[in-house]
Structure 1
Amino acid sequence: MNEPNLKPGERLDGLPSQAVTIIQNPDMFAYSLDAVLLAYFANPNKKGRGLSVDLGAGTGAVGLFYAKKVPGQVQLVEIQEDLAKMAKRSVALNEMEDRVSVIHSDMQAVFDQIKPGSVDTVLCNPPYFPVKETTKQNVDEHYQIARHEVAIDLPKLAQTANKLLKNKGKFFLVHRPERLADIFAALTARGLQVKHVQFVYGKSDREANMVLVEAIKQGRPGGVRVLPPIVAYTKDNQYTKQVQNILYGAPWTLES
């Protein structure tokens, strides 16, 4: 691993199972368990040999964690210049410049750099909260764009993913369970058929607080499968064995 050369306010966070280290600045934005679980959940076609794109990449966590389990090229698209530069430095820090690149762009305007219909896999950890008059938004611009649908909403995200993907390409998304109806509606209306859903629970006796979704472009309607749940914490607020293995266990492998 190269030297990190951190700037003021920055820190290093890592994912031991994937041997990846991410440069972050908590005052701007920092990834959390949802990014890890999205990268873990994604099971691309062709064992990941094709092109994969992480939309709204932030500091690059999802794309870099995912890139360690696939052999193909991975492109990280991020609208915020500060975060895109940080992601680029994390790519260099992990010595992955040969397979991972960063594009500073609005994802809806990236088609002059990524040819429509050329992508095998799209991943996204998007803003979770719709913008309404009653919505309490983050004052900080970095968090506002990351958490609220200021720059893009679900229908536009689905349309962007559809335009990037090849037919039968896969779209992987992490979101909030209360938005599930919106997610299904947005994806289905734009030719992305949901095939797998997996719920994530903070604790086993609580409601799900995350949902992982896989959709296929021009897939057959119906046939949605709900996978076994992921439970993050024990009653004693420790990671469950399942999550400990994801974070600290052996490097991830793809399903056959």
Structure 2
Amino acid sequence: MTEVILKEGERIDGLPSQNVHIIQNPDMFSYSLDAILLAHFAGVKGKGAGLTVDLGAGTGAVGLFYSPKVIGKIKLVEIQPELAEMAQRSIEMNGLQKRVSVLLSDMKDIFNDIQPGSVETVLSNPPYFPLNEMTKTNHDTHYELARHELTIDLPGLAQVANKLLKNNGKFYMVHRPDRLTDVFSAFEQRKLRIKRMQFVYGKSDREANMVLVEAIKAGRPGGVRIMPPIIAYTPENNYTSQVEEILYGQAWS
């Protein structure tokens, strides 16, 4: 890891199993377990030589945690300059400048930089909460953009992913189970066929609070596989052995 000088309020967090470190500022935004689980869930086609794009990358956690699984290039798309700048420094800290880059842009405006139909894999940990007249947003702009659909909604995200992907390219996303109806509708209308899902539970006696989704562009309808669940915490509020293996075990294959 290359030595880095941190700015006020910043810290370095890491994922031991992948030997990747991320610069972040908790006063702006910090990644959480959903980013790690998405990077772990996302598959690799062939040797992983194709282009990967992380939409709404924030400080780059999903794309950087995914990077040891592939040999191809990764583009991190982020609209907030402060988060994009931290992602760039994390790239340099991890020595990944030759393969990973940051694109500071609204994801709807990236097609002059990324050719439509050129991407093998799209990753996204998008805002979970839709906007309506009852929405109560966070007063912090960084968290508002990360949590609420201020700049793009699910149909818009699905459209961007569809336009980026090659035929049979794959889109991996983490979202909330209570938005699954919206997810299925947005994907189906844009011919992103859901093929694999995995639910994540905070504890074994609670309802699922996350769902990991794999969709394929222009795939055949049907054939959805529901993977074994992930249970995050024990009754004593420690990580389960399942999650500990993801965080601290062998590098992901």
Moved over 2 A (4+): none
Per-residue CA distance 1:126-170 (angstroms, 9 max, x = gap): 000001111110111000000000010000000000000000000
Structure 1 segment 194-233 matched on structure 2, within 5 A: 194-233=194-233
Structure 1 segment 1-256 matched on structure 2, within 5 A: 1-253=1-253
**8 Å Cα contact 1:44/1:170 also seen in 2:** no
List alignment gaps of at least 5 residues for structure 1.
none
**8 Å Cα contact 1:64/1:91 also seen in 2:** yes
- Measure, in 1, the Cα distance between the counterparts of 2:44 and 2:168: 11
**Superposition deviation, residue 46 in structure 1:** 1.9
List alignment gaps of at least 5 residues for structure 2.
none
| TM-score scaled by length of structure 1 | 0.98
**Superposition deviation, residue 97 in structure 1:** 0.4
| TM-score scaled by length of structure 2 | 0.99
Secondary structure, counterpart of 1:250 in structure 2: coil
**Superposition deviation, residue 44 in structure 1:** 2.5
- Measure, in 2, the Cα distance between the counterparts of 1:131 and 1:47: 40
The number of residues matched between the two structures is: 253
**What is the Cα-based RMSD across aligned positions, in Å?**
0.5
Percentage of identical aligned residues: 67
Q: Which amino acid aligns with 1:192?
A: L
- Measure, in 2, the Cα distance between the counterparts of 1:151 and 1:245: 35
**8 Å Cα contact 2:44/2:69 also seen in 1:** no
- Measure, in 1, the Cα distance between the counterparts of 2:69 and 2:182: 30
- Measure, in 2, the Cα distance between the counterparts of 1:181 and 1:110: 28
Q: Which amino acid aligns with 1:2?
A: T
Secondary structure, counterpart of 2:31 in structure 1: coil
- Measure, in 1, the Cα distance between the counterparts of 2:47 and 2:182: 30
- Measure, in 1, the Cα distance between the counterparts of 2:221 and 2:205: 33
